[in-house]
């Protein structure tokens, strides 16, 4: 066969396929349980939207918002930050657009470096925050800025490895959790505690923990250890061993109540062993400093975040108060985006999230709540990875529900670039997202953490500027390029 004949044959085949694609029903043809589809010619030749997304530019615009502006005065700064609060893709959505929503929390942060006890921020989320991803970056930045050390609360048994803390145990430990598949034990009561899980030790349990070299610097050491316990019917002995020191605490019968045992160490350490003799429920171990701030990473694989309201509220109140909890972060929604979800199911899920917000508000009436919406998630549509159907509707429903219930909302989807941005993140070199087009890589999670921290910090800068402008010179020194330096001078 001659070359021109081969070429003609190929073009005839292409033309035939194009005609079939044009006349084939857009929704396909259903034959039994099989749905046959055919790609339209426009789908083959169109320019992919995600190819236009510049991930690096989006990242820089988020974390260097103020540095990219030519500001000459405090008033210029306030104007720029107010514009950020109203228009920027990485802004936080507030109830009634009130950007003062975090002001009381910021006031607590300002005094935390020199005031005991340290502030706790709980970051609950699904598998996006496993291994201390996202949380670790925010914690490190806040501990640099406001003081504090340690990774915060860890469970007695950690089933998922962490970049921050290494754990193992010896003895009998039965874990109960309110989330997870049917293989996870459920307790005969609702006293799950602040981690929505606990471990029951019937006799003896030894828990070894140490911070990893891969942890951020401020999370690598601690000088205060807290043991969250309850439900012991007999006297229990708890011994902390660290740096060659052994300190034993006697825990008397508290029946179904709750208690927190605390060890203050003479110096910082990066490891320890807890030996517990007696029957007891363990709700967590906090590795922290005496002052400053820490963020507790609480990953819940497979969870949609709709179960908190079923946890005993009195126990939650006790532990949150004892830990000086000043902010709740909830990061859920991805696991509710299952295949075939309907708008009605989205509405129902959003309403359920609203109930969880009310639950936390009843327990912590003066503590702000920040809900982090799901990131972009891709699915295969006719051979191409695209944003999941109804994801935008899910995010909008969550945003409206959250702010209407008096909490704040950060739109991960919008901040990372919007529609089809997950494909762009996955196509970066090195990749910022995993091949499943749902989860971030470690590098990508770090970027999301930095973007969220900088967004919150912009509101902190606005808080400080508005608080101090009446007492300070309105002209910024030319050599001060970063506003954090300005604020340290103002304090």
Is it the case that residue 450 has pLDDT exceeding 90? yes
Q: Which of 40-44, 178-182, 258-262 has the lowest mean pLDDT?
A: 40-44
Alpha-helical regions (H) of 237-323: 313-322
Q: Where are the alpha helices (DSSP H) in 308-367?
A: 313-322, 343-363
* 3-class secondary-structure state, position 159: coil
Within 8 A by CB and 6+ apart from 34, the residues are none
Q: Could you tell me the CA-to-CA distances from 21 to 13, 40, 46, 208, 380 in Å, in that order?
A: 12, 4, 14, 62, 18
Q: What is the pLDDT of residue 279?
A: 93
CA 284 remoteness from chain centre = 19
Answer whether residue 357 shows pLDDT above 90. Answer: yes
pLDDT band at 340 (very low <50, low <70, confident <90, very high): confident
Q: Is the pLDDT of residue 346 over 70?
A: yes
Is-contact 120 324, C-beta < 8 A?
yes
| Dist. CA 455–CA 128, nearest whole Å | 19
Residue 32 has a pLDDT of: 62
The pLDDT of residue 73: 74
Fold (CATH) for 150-290? Jelly Rolls (2.60.120)
Angstrom distance (rounded) from CA 400 to CA 346: 12
Sole residue written with tokens 């007999």: 234
- Sign of the dihedral through C-alpha 144, 150, 153, 157: positive
Give 384's contacts (C-beta < 8 A, 6+ positions apart).
43, 48
Q: What is the DSSP string of 395-433?
A: HHHHHHHHHHTT-EEE-HHHHTTSTTHHHHHHTSSS-SB
Structure tokens at 300: 């819940």
According to CATH, what is the number of the domain 50-148+292-491?
A: 3.40.50.1110
Q: Are 451 and 417 in contact (CB under 8 A)?
A: no
What tens digit of pLDDT does each residue of 373-397 get?
999 999 988 778 999 999 999 999 9
Mean pLDDT within 347-368: 98
Instruction: Tell me the average pLDDT of the chain.
Output: 89
119-125 and 293-299 strand pairing: parallel
For the chain, report the end-to-end CA distance as a whole number of angstroms.
84
The pTM assigned to this predicted structure is 0.88
What value does the CA radius of gyration of the chain take, rounded to a whole number of Å? 26
Place of tokens 């009195």: 314
Contact 169, 206 (CB under 8 A): yes
pLDDT at residue 77 is higher than 90: no
**Residue ranges of the domains in the chain?**
1-46, 50-148+292-491, 150-290
Rounded to an integer, the average pLDDT of 399-406 is 98
> SS3 for 267?
strand
* Residue 388 DSSP label: P
Q: Which of 80, 57, 48, 54 is nearest to 67 (CA)?
A: 80
pLDDT tops 60 at residue 484: no
pLDDT tens per residue across span 459-468: 999 998 888 7
Percentage of residues in the chain having pLDDT higher than 90 = 73
Question: Do the Cβ atoms of 115 and 147 come closer than 8 Å?
Answer: no
The number of residues making up the chain comes to: 491
Mean pLDDT of 27-31: 64
Element (DSSP H or E) covering residue 431: none
Q: What is the largest CA-CA distance in the chain?
A: 94
CA–CA–CA angle 136, 140, 146 (5° rounding) = 140
- Average pLDDT estimate for 121-143: 98
DSSP, collapsed to helix, strand or coil, labels residue 265 as strand
Helix (H, G, I), strand (E, B) or coil at 378: strand
Phi, psi values for residue 296, rounded to 5°: -90, 120
Q: Dump pLDDT digits (tens) for 227-262.
A: 999 988 789 999 999 999 999 999 987 766 789 999
3-state secondary structure of 46: coil
What per-residue string of b and e applies to 356-382 under the rule 16 or more CB within 10 Å gives b? bbebbbebbeebbbbbbbbbbbbeeee
**Which of 104-108, 181-185, 253-257 holds the top average pLDDT?**
104-108
| Cβ contact 188:312 at 8 Å | no
* pLDDT for the residue 472: 53
Contact yes or no for 93/369 (Cβ under 8 A):
no
């Amino acid at each position: 066969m001659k070359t021109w004949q081969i070429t003609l044959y190929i073009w005839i085949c292409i033309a035939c396929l194009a005609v079939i694609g044009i006349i084939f029903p857009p929704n396909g043809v259903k034959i039994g349980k099989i749905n046959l589809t055919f790609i339209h010619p426009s789908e083959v030749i169109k320019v992919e939207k995600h190819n236009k997304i510049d991930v690096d530019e989006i990242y820089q615009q988020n974390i260097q918002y103020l540095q990219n502006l030519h500001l000459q005065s405090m008033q210029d700064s306030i104007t720029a930050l107010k514009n950020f609060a109203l228009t920027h893709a990485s802004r936080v959505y507030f109830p009634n657009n009130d950007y003062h929503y975090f002001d009381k929390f910021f006031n607590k942060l300002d005094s935390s470096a020199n005031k005991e006890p340290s502030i706790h921020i709980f970051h609950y989320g699904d598998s996006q925050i496993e291994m201390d991803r996202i949380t670790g970056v925010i914690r490190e930045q806040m501990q640099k800025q406001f003081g504090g050390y340690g990774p915060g609360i860890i469970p007695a048994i950690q089933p998922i490895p962490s970049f921050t803390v290494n754990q193992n145990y010896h003895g009998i430990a039965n874990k109960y959790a309110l989330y997870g598949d049917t293989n996870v034990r459920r307790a005969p009561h609702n006293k799950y505690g602040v981690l929505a899980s606990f471990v029951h030790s019937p006799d003896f349990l030894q828990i070894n923990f140490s911070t990893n070299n891969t942890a951020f610097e401020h999370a690598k050491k601690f000088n205060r250890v807290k043991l969250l316990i309850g439900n012991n019917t007999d006297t229990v002995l708890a011994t902390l061993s660290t740096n060659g020191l052994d300190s034993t605490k006697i825990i008397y019968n508290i029946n179904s109540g709750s208690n927190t045992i605390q060890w203050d160490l003479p110096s910082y350490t990066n490891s320890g062993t807890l030996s517990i003799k007696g029957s007891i429920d363990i709700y967590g171990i906090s590795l922290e400093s005496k002052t400053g701030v820490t963020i507790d990473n609480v990953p819940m694989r497979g969870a949609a975040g709709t179960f908190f309201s079923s946890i005993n509220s009195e126990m939650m109140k006790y532990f949150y108060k004892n830990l000086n909890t000043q902010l709740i972060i909830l990061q859920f929604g991805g696991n509710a985006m299952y295949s075939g979800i309907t708008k009605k199911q989205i509405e129902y899920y959003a309403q359920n999230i609203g109930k969880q917000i009310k639950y936390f508000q009843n327990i912590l009436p003066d503590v702000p709540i920040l809900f982090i919406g799901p990131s972009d998630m891709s699915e295969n549509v006719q051979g191409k990875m695209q944003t999941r159907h109804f994801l935008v509707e899910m995010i909008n429903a969550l945003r409206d529900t959250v702010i209407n219930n008096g909490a704040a909302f950060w739109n991960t989807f919008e901040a990372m670039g919007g529609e089809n941005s997950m494909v762009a993140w996955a196509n970066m070199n090195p990749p910022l997202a995993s091949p499943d087009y749902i989860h971030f890589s470690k590098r990508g999670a770090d970027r999301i953490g930095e973007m969220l921290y900088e967004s919150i910090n912009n509101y902190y800068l606005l808080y400080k500027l508005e608080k101090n402008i009446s007492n300070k010179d309105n002209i910024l020194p030319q050599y001060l390029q970063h506003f954090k330096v300005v604020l340290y001078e103002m304090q």
